[in-house]
Structure 1
Amino acid sequence: MTASGLIVSAPRSGSGKTTLTLGLLAALRGRGVAVTAAKAGPDYIDTAFHAAASGRAGLNLDSWAMSPALLDTLMAEAALDADLLLIEGAMGLFDGIEAPPGRSGAGADIAARHGLPVLLIVDVSGASQSHAALLRGFATHDPKVRIGGVVLNRVGSERHRRMVADAVAPLGLPILGAIPRDAPPALPERHLGLVQAEEHPALGAALAALGEHIARYVDLDAVRRLAAPLGIAAAQVPGVAVPPPGQRIALARDAAFSFVYPHLLAAWRRGGAEILPFSPLADEAPPDCADCCWLPGGYPELHGGRLAAASGFLAGLRRFAAARPVHGECGGHMVLGEGIEDAAGQRHGMAGLLGHSTSFARRRMNLGYRRARMLADGPMGRAGSWLRGHEFHYATVTDPGRDMPFALLSDGTGRELGPAGGRRGFVTGSFFHAIAREEA
């Protein structure tokens, strides 16, 4: 393996990690660098932007949900035929949950385990010399985590940049870029993050402009020199993600159903499964030749009217569920229920294969890592087996229905959350997003 690795992180969310990462990907790709990107943590939106900017498939790396063996294998596979593996962190560099060392979900876990340097982007607006104290803390907080370089973001003027740089100089941390406050327009956002890559009206042009902007203010050669060699070999017995739920999997895939992790699809294909995409928004039913149907998360609350009117999809889904397994995650789980109330308070009838109803008008954020124990055999595994994943949605359950629960949940620290989701016949669903099967 000849690839090198680097982590892009920050002291906190909103510092500019994604802007810097996408700009670096686009700029380096434009220079002929084969760069693969990964997202540290459970984020299924940023990986699609990474893929668009790099021209290579993206993936997620999660130190809490994935075993060390699975992490190593995924990183080794991602680095194949690549010059650089660029990993974008989540939240702040050291932000994770209370867990054994190296398993907190923080980007710092990956940096420490694999000896990867961190390129820290710092929003310097509102202060100057005080940022030296912040950077001193980050540089010394964990001796296993090396801050290799710094990019200053939202710099107000040349004088502002010089004041920060002069204060930081005694720390020996190289400043590899300074991005001015008048940055290009940000990519559009909505309640779960960025508007999806496939919905962006001119994504290619936006990424190209972002790449030019970053190349103007960041030393790309210095960034490449900062990266460290990846000495990882795929485990001979790799960690297990989630086994294929079927041999021929009908996968809902469009703007309403897009939250599926790339590493899961890759693992299913590697396990011999065939993925058969179909579009509920185009009123397509699950392919009849499939033996399992998977409805991933997404934004069904934004498309309630179209989904309710998709009679071919709903009738085909009901026929499919009469004899074959159907599983819904988060948004897919909402569509399996009786109805969805959109942000305006209008109710849209859904498949009625489970008895619950949900509302986006009565919003409440649900966010966090989850452990799920299966309560019955099904597409997600045998009864009693454990999965690790997460939950992130704003919908509330207005009527839980009377179905048997799908799983017993606990949060990432082990606190019991009780039964969740529903199962009826061949149909199962919950707000839980699976990332990997739990291993001892």
Structure 2
Amino acid sequence: MTPGLLISAPASGCGKTTVMLGLLRALSEDGLAVQPFKSGPDYIDPAFHRAASGRESVNLDSWAMGPGMLAAILGQAAGADLALAEGSMGLFDGVARNGASGNGASSSLAMLTGWPVVLVLDVSGQAQSAAATALGFARLRAGLPFAGVILNRVASPRHERLVRLGMAEAGIPVLGALPRRGDLALPERHLGLVQASEHPDLACAIAGYAAFLRDHVDLSAIRAAARATPFDVPPAALPRPPAQRIALAQDAAFSFSYPHLLQGWRKAGAQILPFSPLADEAPDPAADLVWLPGGYPELHAATLAGAGRFHAGLRRHAETRPVHGECGGYMALGAALIDKAGLRHPMAGLLGLVTSFSARKLHLGYRRAHLLAPMPGHGPGAALRGHEFHYSTILDQPDPPLARVTDAEGANVPETGSRRGLVTGTFFHLISEDT
């Protein structure tokens, strides 16, 4: 397996994404073929990885994916000189119950792959004490491969010297020290970073990150620290396509499609027919299925409400062929969406769902779904794994439930999805079939 590293941190907000992007670009500029990955369910970071490296970034999820699927996705690094995976949340943050391959934590992925952890450590407000944090992360899990730390938000040369003294005492390698800078933060919104396509000057930002990392990180030591464990598991097939010709909504409102799903669909011979609801485009009338992925319909609710050709095309399609929506796509199939200002916007009306962003509440976590009725690509009784992440509140969901949905620990959740005729929708984003 390709040698690699996992870029992680004690918590969100420590700077691991900017470090990841800077490393991807700097190492690519040095002539390396660097394959990026993202640990856990995330739609936004992989697009930034692609912009930095020139290669498609793919999610790896030890809770939602079985060993065979992980092997198939890891195979995409074949031929690359180095794999870099960006962790999610803190290094050990996962669920209480393991999936087929682990508990979803970044540390679980590091253990599976043998990719040593590079811990991005925010040392603001501490000096030698930072070594205790680093030592705890290096030693908490027996067998965890650990490369060292990159110190972030270093206040001064004296501050750096004191932190390094503590790390030397603890036996923790320091791979770099990044001075504090206020201009390195990526713009954010309520689901995390803004999308890569919306960044005002992404190329310039990534070039700046690369130059900053080149000045303050030992790239030779980073390259030398990469390792891998042989992953002797036969690759499984990627998810099967739910239809032969799939009209897929793709624009700023509907952009959350997992790369491994689309790869599986294409590999099996499915034809993906992109269209833009925001441009008031109707789905291709030759499509066998219309699929509306998640995204940010709440930011474009007025435009979607007025998209007459889009709505008419959906309704015509739904008379004879299936339509499915995930999260934001599910909301767009409903009767109405209420924005954060309390304004009600009519949606397609193919389902009775009414959602509100004025009654804001976070819904986050892994999901297991046992289908009570068919949805495209899966029959009743199928068990699926996925993830839910949104801030909308259900005000009305009058249609029959699509599935019994539980969280990772088996507790029922009210976001069951719904169905009406050939139209289905879920709040969870599908990752894989249960194994």
TM category, shorter: over 0.9
- Letter of the structure 2 residue corresponding to residue 307 of structure 1: L
**Are the equivalent residues in 2 in contact too, given 1:250–1:275 (CA < 8 A)?**
yes
**Are the equivalent residues in 1 in contact too, given 2:72–2:238 (CA < 8 A)?**
no
Question: How far does residue 176 in structure 1 lie from its aligned partner after superposition?
Answer: 0.7
Aligned counterparts, 1:340-419, within 5 A: 340-400=337-397, 402-417=398-413
Distance 2:162 2:381 in 1: 59
- Letter of the structure 2 residue corresponding to residue 394 of structure 1: Y
Distance 1:348 1:419 in 2: 21
Distance 1:215 1:350 in 2: 49
Question: How far does residue 183 in structure 1 lie from its aligned partner after superposition?
Answer: 4.8
Partner SS, residue 416 of structure 1:
coil
Look up the match of 1:306.
Answer: 303
Matched, 1:437 2:421: no
Runs of 5+ unmatched residues, structure 1: none
2:318 is aligned, of 318, 321, 327, to 321
Query: What do the CA deviations read for 1:230-253 (whole angstroms, capped 9, x no partner)?
Result: 6346725x1x55321110100000
Matched, 1:246 2:243: yes
Cα–Cα, structure 1 residues 234 and 288, in superposed 2: closer, same or farther, change >3 Å?
Answer: farther
Runs of 5+ unmatched residues, structure 2: none
Query: What do the CA deviations read for 1:11-41 (whole angstroms, capped 9, x no partner)?
Result: 1111111111011111111111111111101
Question: How far does residue 419 in structure 1 lie from its aligned partner after superposition?
Answer: 6.4
- Letter of the structure 2 residue corresponding to residue 275 of structure 1: I
**Are the equivalent residues in 1 in contact too, given 2:238–2:263 (CA < 8 A)?**
no
Query: What do the CA deviations read for 1:78-117 (whole angstroms, capped 9, x no partner)?
Result: x122111100011111111112385210011111122221
Distance 1:242 1:234 in 2: 17
- Letter of the structure 2 residue corresponding to residue 195 of structure 1: V
**Are the equivalent residues in 2 in contact too, given 1:242–1:380 (CA < 8 A)?**
no
Distance 1:406 1:376 in 2: 6
Question: How far does residue 146 in structure 1 lie from its aligned partner after superposition?
Answer: 2.1
**Are the equivalent residues in 2 in contact too, given 1:339–1:350 (CA < 8 A)?**
yes
Cα–Cα, structure 1 residues 341 and 224, in superposed 2: closer, same or farther, change >3 Å?
Answer: same
Question: How far does residue 201 in structure 1 lie from its aligned partner after superposition?
Answer: 2.4
Cα–Cα, structure 1 residues 250 and 317, in superposed 2: closer, same or farther, change >3 Å?
Answer: same
Aligned counterparts, 1:156-167, within 5 A: 156-167=155-166
Look up the match of 1:231.
Answer: 230
2:80 is aligned, of 79, 82, 90, to 82
Matched, 1:142 2:141: yes
**Are the equivalent residues in 2 in contact too, given 1:242–1:434 (CA < 8 A)?**
no
Identity %: 55
**Are the equivalent residues in 1 in contact too, given 2:261–2:431 (CA < 8 A)?**
yes
Look up the match of 1:95.
Answer: 93
Distance 1:234 1:210 in 2: 36
1:297 is aligned, of 277, 294, 299, to 294
Look up the match of 2:197.
Answer: 198
Cα–Cα, structure 1 residues 302 and 419, in superposed 2: closer, same or farther, change >3 Å?
Answer: closer
Which stretch shows the higher mean deviation, 416-425 or 288-297?
A: 416-425
Question: How far does residue 138 in structure 1 lie from its aligned partner after superposition?
Answer: 1.3
Query: What do the CA deviations read for 1:351-404 (whole angstroms, capped 9, x no partner)?
Result: 00000111111100000110001111220401001110111000111122x211
**Are the equivalent residues in 1 in contact too, given 2:415–2:427 (CA < 8 A)?**
no
Cα–Cα, structure 1 residues 342 and 253, in superposed 2: closer, same or farther, change >3 Å?
Answer: same
Which stretch shows the higher mean deviation, 117-126 or 203-212?
A: 203-212
What number of residue pairs does the alignment pair up? Answer: 434
**Are the equivalent residues in 2 in contact too, given 1:292–1:325 (CA < 8 A)?**
yes
Distance 2:132 2:298 in 1: 45
Look up the match of 1:57.
Answer: 56
Cα–Cα, structure 1 residues 262 and 432, in superposed 2: closer, same or farther, change >3 Å?
Answer: same
Cα–Cα, structure 1 residues 233 and 184, in superposed 2: closer, same or farther, change >3 Å?
Answer: farther
CA RMSD in angstroms comes to 1.4
**Are the equivalent residues in 2 in contact too, given 1:76–1:234 (CA < 8 A)?**
no
**Are the equivalent residues in 2 in contact too, given 1:184–1:210 (CA < 8 A)?**
no
Which stretch shows the higher mean deviation, 414-423 or 379-388?
A: 414-423
Distance 2:175 2:213 in 1: 11
Look up the match of 1:428.
Answer: 424
- Letter of the structure 2 residue corresponding to residue 80 of structure 1: A
Distance 1:423 1:36 in 2: 39
Look up the match of 2:26.
Answer: 27
**Are the equivalent residues in 1 in contact too, given 2:415–2:426 (CA < 8 A)?**
no
- Letter of the structure 1 residue corresponding to residue 378 of structure 2: G
Query: What do the CA deviations read for 1:177-211 (whole angstroms, capped 9, x no partner)?
Result: 10111253311110001110111122111111111
Question: How far does residue 347 in structure 1 lie from its aligned partner after superposition?
Answer: 1.1
Partner SS, residue 278 of structure 2:
helix
Distance 2:44 2:331 in 1: 19
**Are the equivalent residues in 2 in contact too, given 1:184–1:213 (CA < 8 A)?**
no
- Relative to the length of structure 1, the TM-score reads 0.96
Look up the match of 2:216.
Answer: 217
Query: What do the CA deviations read for 1:243-268 (whole angstroms, capped 9, x no partner)?
Result: 21110100000000001100100011
Question: How far does residue 417 in structure 1 lie from its aligned partner after superposition?
Answer: 2.4
Distance 1:380 1:168 in 2: 52
Partner SS, residue 303 of structure 1:
helix
Cα–Cα, structure 1 residues 112 and 195, in superposed 2: closer, same or farther, change >3 Å?
Answer: same
Cα–Cα, structure 1 residues 175 and 419, in superposed 2: closer, same or farther, change >3 Å?
Answer: closer
